[in-house]
Structure 1
């Protein structure tokens, strides 16, 4: 199987002459329309080019994929950083009705978590936890759709460690907020398709200052993973004009819990004090 999805189209072109007549029709259609083929079923792709569904499956096998779904995922990996919002909206038309959308979205989120659990590198996860505790200061950056993830991680880490700064758009520029960053600190960057150039630029600046970089992203092929010293990946396969951030949030929850486990006594004391404040100032509904 082609391990690097960025070379999948090139691999199809390279093997083109050895394919059967029907498989060549499929190959040519994918080369010319891979953005459409990535979201077609094997049956629909076969109908489009005038071959049987079994021919499409054999084409996937000829490309050394276990089956058509694996080939389809390879194509989706290629295009998910290139689709415009309008193109993503077009994808939603694949759902016949709202209930079917509900079912498919929830199932996709479950699949993303399962895939993330199966592929997570345990050693890297433990290294990231160690780095969090060694850092004098932790800078967390995640822009656009990743902003919510960055703020969530920053909020809970700061409750435990009290040395966290969230880098975000505001009065001061992103670079100004990291002006005092040093090699004794840590930058945790979060970026999912479509990757924010501003996030990548800011992380590159930190890297030039000798700061260790932890990347939380969707793939080791992502531009953030190219920069980061340690990368944790979580699946965020798209379903329409929104990306799925369920698995990334679950991974972030795991980081927070792992950090909290090492600071169990401090966390308990801290939350006891918070409970007293919440009670005194009636922060929460007493029935909640």
Structure 2
């Protein structure tokens, strides 16, 4: 089926007259409640409209999908950037209860990492590492919930390379912080639904300056990916008001380690110097002052 998921609703409407009675019930439910259907299993969706799980699978086939998971993915792509926080809270109440919150969230995060491992472009990853290592200056932008990811990436890259700037809201405008951006630089944009408009604008600005652009985002259909030279896909699906950042953080960990391995001679000296500073100024608490290895 066409990857343009914006046509999904129209496809359902066009095929509606030829659907069986049970399939029409599914179609009507999706057209009215697609935000909830996107996070339902085939069995749950069937139960909600009073049909069997196999009828739901046949409905997906009727829309030219190989199976229900492909239809579900298309629905999620369609809605994930449109859900308000209030709608996400309602969804989390439907699918994650208080007594299974821990297990439900952990299982979801495991699936996100598994999906990321399958989807990520290894060539894009290696090219991203090359771009970071060779850049004159590296700018990192991640706003809203992605701020924590940007800070984490910036903290470690700065220890390794010492030419990293985290771009964020502050005393000066974001674009003022990137005034000297050039084609010799690299910009890393981090963003997940709902995508922060300012992050998208920063990447557009970076492209106008011919800088290398790396996007860490959830889909090739993401507005960040559309402006990137290299896109690292990390799943962030979560039927909740809280963004799942476990898989993105795992990708960022891999990026930091890969950059470190490329510059291991330099970072060995850097961390040797830092250990001396940390010990002298008691940066960390040690159980035994005579043993500073822990």
Query: Which blocks of at least 5 consecutive residues in structure 2 are unaligned?
Result: 288-293
Query: 8 Å contact 2:143–2:199 — kept in the other structure?
Result: yes
Distance (whole Å) between structure 2 residues aligned to residue 54 and residue 34 of structure 1 = 19
Distance (whole Å) between structure 1 residues aligned to residue 46 and residue 156 of structure 2 = 50
Secondary structure, counterpart of 1:221 in structure 2 = coil
2:143 corresponding residue in structure 1: 143
1:103 corresponding residue in structure 2: 103
Compared CA separation, residues 95 and 9, structure 1 to 2 (3 A): closer
Quote how far apart the aligned CAs of 1:2 are: 4.4
Query: 8 Å contact 1:139–1:188 — kept in the other structure?
Result: yes
Deviations 1:7-50 (A, max 9, x none): 32233234333322221221232123211221333334334434
Quote how far apart the aligned CAs of 1:95 are: 4.5
Query: 8 Å contact 1:95–1:101 — kept in the other structure?
Result: no
2:75 corresponding residue in structure 1: 75
2:26 corresponding residue in structure 1: 26
Deviations 1:170-214 (A, max 9, x none): 000001101111111111100111100111112212221222211
Compared CA separation, residues 50 and 97, structure 1 to 2 (3 A): closer
2:259 corresponding residue in structure 1: 259
Query: 8 Å contact 1:139–1:187 — kept in the other structure?
Result: yes
2:290 corresponding residue in structure 1: none
Secondary structure, counterpart of 1:64 in structure 2 = coil
Query: 8 Å contact 1:2–1:64 — kept in the other structure?
Result: no
2:176 corresponding residue in structure 1: 176
1:223 corresponding residue in structure 2: 223
Query: 8 Å contact 1:186–1:213 — kept in the other structure?
Result: yes
The 5 A counterparts of 1:41-190 are 41-95=41-95, 97-190=97-190
Quote how far apart the aligned CAs of 1:66 are: 3.7
Distance (whole Å) between structure 2 residues aligned to residue 257 and residue 7 of structure 1 = 41
Secondary structure, counterpart of 2:215 in structure 1 = strand
Greater Cα offset, 33-42 or 129-138: 33-42
Quote how far apart the aligned CAs of 1:71 are: 1.9
Query: 8 Å contact 2:36–2:91 — kept in the other structure?
Result: no
Distance (whole Å) between structure 1 residues aligned to residue 274 and residue 91 of structure 2 = 45
1:280 corresponding residue in structure 2: 280
Greater Cα offset, 154-163 or 56-65: 56-65
Q: How many residue pairs get matched?
A: 288
Deviations 1:209-254 (A, max 9, x none): 2222111100001111111121111000013100110000000000
Distance (whole Å) between structure 2 residues aligned to residue 274 and residue 147 of structure 1 = 25
Query: 8 Å contact 1:42–1:57 — kept in the other structure?
Result: yes
Distance (whole Å) between structure 1 residues aligned to residue 194 and residue 133 of structure 2 = 31
Deviations 1:40-96 (A, max 9, x none): 333343344343332112112222334323322321221111111111111121246
Distance (whole Å) between structure 1 residues aligned to residue 102 and residue 24 of structure 2 = 37
The 5 A counterparts of 1:9-20 are 9-20=9-20
Distance (whole Å) between structure 1 residues aligned to residue 95 and residue 226 of structure 2 = 35
Query: Which blocks of at least 5 consecutive residues in structure 1 are unaligned?
Result: none
Distance (whole Å) between structure 1 residues aligned to residue 219 and residue 97 of structure 2 = 31
Normalised to the residue count of structure 1, the TM-score between the two structures is: 0.94
Distance (whole Å) between structure 2 residues aligned to residue 69 and residue 100 of structure 1 = 23
1:241 corresponding residue in structure 2: 241
Distance (whole Å) between structure 1 residues aligned to residue 19 and residue 205 of structure 2 = 47
2:214 corresponding residue in structure 1: 214
Secondary structure, counterpart of 1:223 in structure 2 = coil
Secondary structure, counterpart of 1:236 in structure 2 = coil
Compared CA separation, residues 177 and 257, structure 1 to 2 (3 A): same
